Structure 1
Amino acid sequence: MRLLRFLFKDLFRSLQTAGGRQFLWLLLRYADRPRNKPFRAQVGPFRFRVVDGLSFAWQYKEIFTDEFYRFTTNEEIPVIYDCGANIGMSLAYFRQQYPAARIVAFEADPAIGQVLADNLTVNGIQNVELINKAVWINDAGVDFSSAEADAGSIYSTGQQQRVPSVRLRDYLLREPRIDMLKMDIEGAEADVLADCRDALGNVRNMFIEYHSYVGHPQALGGILQMLETAGFRYYVDTNQHRVRPFLNRRYNGNDVMDLQLNVFAYRE
């Protein structure tokens, strides 16, 4: 039995919970569909317009099965900022877990933003301030390349377009308290966080998906130092465990990125 658990560890773990079993079902049903081909999918009480089957399945695992964004609060009306809301699965989770929350959501990709708005309407997810602009260090716009799924970035090698932007720092300074700041902005996080350094005092919890792009300086050390200075504790995690990492220097064989990991920052 121990040998079987070792050989099939991830499968065994997934089968132990309803969320894990749902994730396996999504993988079986949608993950092998052609990439970046839109379709509609039902999962639990939600019906999503999906732009990529594999990304959809893994988003479900992180958000609903592993509950990356779960936090505790005594506030009657928690304040949640979702930077990089994509198709809205994170917003569905936030609204389900924190029904009274005031949510502000940002999405840089114009096409994904339309899908996001549609998903909010179809699922009756209300009272979300949706801003179809990139979070950035100013409001002058930024060059952005869409990846059609969940990897659109200012660093992507595809054709870029100028998209509107907002300075996140200005938004944070308006809030007396932010219970959760979620940041999944595909490489822009280092610049944005550096610009927000003096505006994080009222943030209680923060999720940062860190991305390191080949040919660009790595900024993880600076991010962690900033979190320490701002009074956060943090936990760093990655689902990638490389074999021979001195030789295997890419993230999942990616030609553009060489590291992706998650930073969970919180105040005690």
Structure 2
Amino acid sequence: MTKPDRSPAPDAPKTELDEVRDLILRYPGVARAQLERTAGGRLTARVQGWDHANDLSPTGPLSELAEINPHETRFLYDEIFSAESYLQGGITLREDAVVFDVGANIGMFSLFVGARCPSADVFAFEPVPDVFDVLRSNVERHGVAARLLPFGLSDRDQDIVFNFYPGISIMSCRSDYADLDNEVDLIKQYVANTRETGATGRDDHLAQVEALVAKDFELTERHCRLRSLSEVIEEAAVARIDLLKIDVQRAELDVLRGVEERHWSLIQQISMEVHDEKGTPTEGRVQLVKDLLTANGFRATVAEEDLLRGTGRYAVQAVRPEYADDPRPVVASAESGKPRLDPLAIAGWLAERRPAGRLPDEVVLVDSLPPRD
């Protein structure tokens, strides 16, 4: 069966029920919502959260996201929502956190922050125009408080050519940093690791991923702009960065080198993917990054994610020891557990934003929803 196109579409006239549904989708943690009116006129809102990690069906929580490809959407969800990979190593999200999402792709981490820490102010960076349009659609639809920035970060301001892979956009990168053979090996290892874990319900997803390496990757070039992190800090008058998340396909050290000495103290936590691939220019990079972070006052840890074991990708988390004394409450951490939506809280939130006669009579939390027409 052909998968429906869920790329951003032109705006169509909205009914009142569409308006209510769109508003519900802006409640933190809501992935999907449907409204149903009975013959007697009673209106019920059925709501599905992001917390159904193993639901790969056409009606799962990801089924209405704008996306480039379904297989990478699933991968990103596994990594960010299910494994909470960016909250490992003692990383936390505090009330009113300022979060820099560098390498935002279609916005999965920005959506995660919006769901787990609604008070956060997110700066989402994505340099590839094709991907940026999808990022915008997802973030705006779910009401994440994000500033969307159509450029990437590096050690200096520059315009550069990117390799954009429509078949798997998360591998897109600077053309001078591209290593297609390595990406193919990563995909094969990811499939093998996923099968080894024995996770259920992944067969169709893994078959789609395997199909990527059975043919040549489609490649197109995009001209993209890069700026330094310090430039953005100055321009936006950022007083602190509670969490700097970096996933930029071999350009992670460039991002860190774009921080001027006077701005390092503003950054409290860093959660990043680091490439350290034997026999390539990235070999030894984990130690370089760790030394740089330690020299700037961070306590850094290094781990290898289970699904990416053996691929030369490492998770580096760094936290300033004094950040533990920040008086703002911790809203989310790996130890805090995944929150469950509260139907009464959603109903109260809607009542603050809609006239009394134009509200659902009931909000019901459900594990699944039928496909949209």
Q: Same fold (TM over 0.5)?
A: yes
Distance 2:93 2:68 in 1: 33
Q: Which residue of 2 aligns with 1:151?
A: 171
Decide which of 95, 106, 114 is 1:87's aligned counterpart: 106
Aligned-residue offset at 1:217:
4.2
Structure 2 gaps of 5+ residues are 1-48, 181-218, 322-373
- Higher deviation after alignment, 142-151 or 90-99: 142-151
Question: CA distance change for structure 1 residues 133 and 20 in 2, over 3 Å: closer, same or farther?
Answer: closer
Helix, strand or coil for the counterpart of 1:234? strand
C-alpha distance in 2 between matches for 1:222 and 1:186: 16
Aligned residues: 220
The TM-score, its normalising length taken from structure 2, stands at: 0.54
Equivalent residue number for residue 222 of structure 2: 161
Match of 1:264 in 2: 317
- Stretches (4+) displaced over 4 A: none
After TM superposition, give the deviation of residue 181 of structure 1 in Å.
0.5
Greater relative CO, 1 or 2 (CA 8 Å, sep 6+): 2
1:223 counterpart residue number: 289
* 178-187 or 146-155, larger mean C-alpha shift: 146-155
Tell me the percent identity: 25
Matched, 1:122 2:141: yes
Any conservation in 2 of the 1:47–1:119 contact (CA below 8 Å)?
A: no
Native 8 Å contact 1:181 1:203 kept in 2:
yes
| Deviation per residue, 1:182-207 (Å, 9 max, x gap) | 00111111122123262321111111
Whether contact under 8 Å (1:79, 1:178) holds in the other structure is yes
CA distance in 2, matches of 1:164, 1:140: 6
- Measured in 2, the distance between the counterparts of 1:84 and 1:117 equals 13
Give the letter for the 1:263 counterpart: V
What is the aligned partner in structure 2 of residue 47 from structure 1?
64
**What whole-Å deviation, never above 9, does each CA across 1:75-110 have from its counterpart, x for those lacking one?**
x42111110111111111111111111111100211
Aligned-residue Cα RMSD (Å) equals 2.6
One of 69, 74, 87 as aligned partner of 1:57: 74
Alignment match, 1:208: 272
- Could you say what secondary structure the match of 1:100 adopts? coil
Give the match for residue 24 of structure 1.
Answer: 54
The answer as to 2:127 corresponding to 1:97 is no
Aligned match of 1:10: none
Letter paired with 1:151 = M
Aligned to 1:189: 252
- Structure-2 separation of matches of 1:261 and 1:121: 31
Q: Note the 1:226-237 alignment, pairs <5 A.
A: 226-237=292-303
Residue 52 (structure 1) shift: 2.1
Supply the distance in 2 between the matched residues of 1:115 and 1:73 (Cα, whole angstroms). Answer: 25
Post-superposition shift, 1:133?
0.8
**SS of residue in 1 equivalent to 2:105:** coil
C-alpha separation in 2, matches of 1:73 and 1:117: 23
- C-alpha separation between the residues in 1 aligned to 2:71 and 2:119? 31
Q: Residue type matched to 1:153 in 2?
A: C
What residue in structure 2 maps to residue 12 of structure 1?
Answer: none
Per the alignment, residue 141 of structure 1 pairs with 159
Computing the radius of gyration from Cα coordinates, the structure with the larger value is 2
Q: TM-score scaled to structure 1, two decimals?
A: 0.73
Displacement of 1:20 in angstroms is: 11
SS, match of residue 221 in structure 1? helix
Matched with 1:256 is none
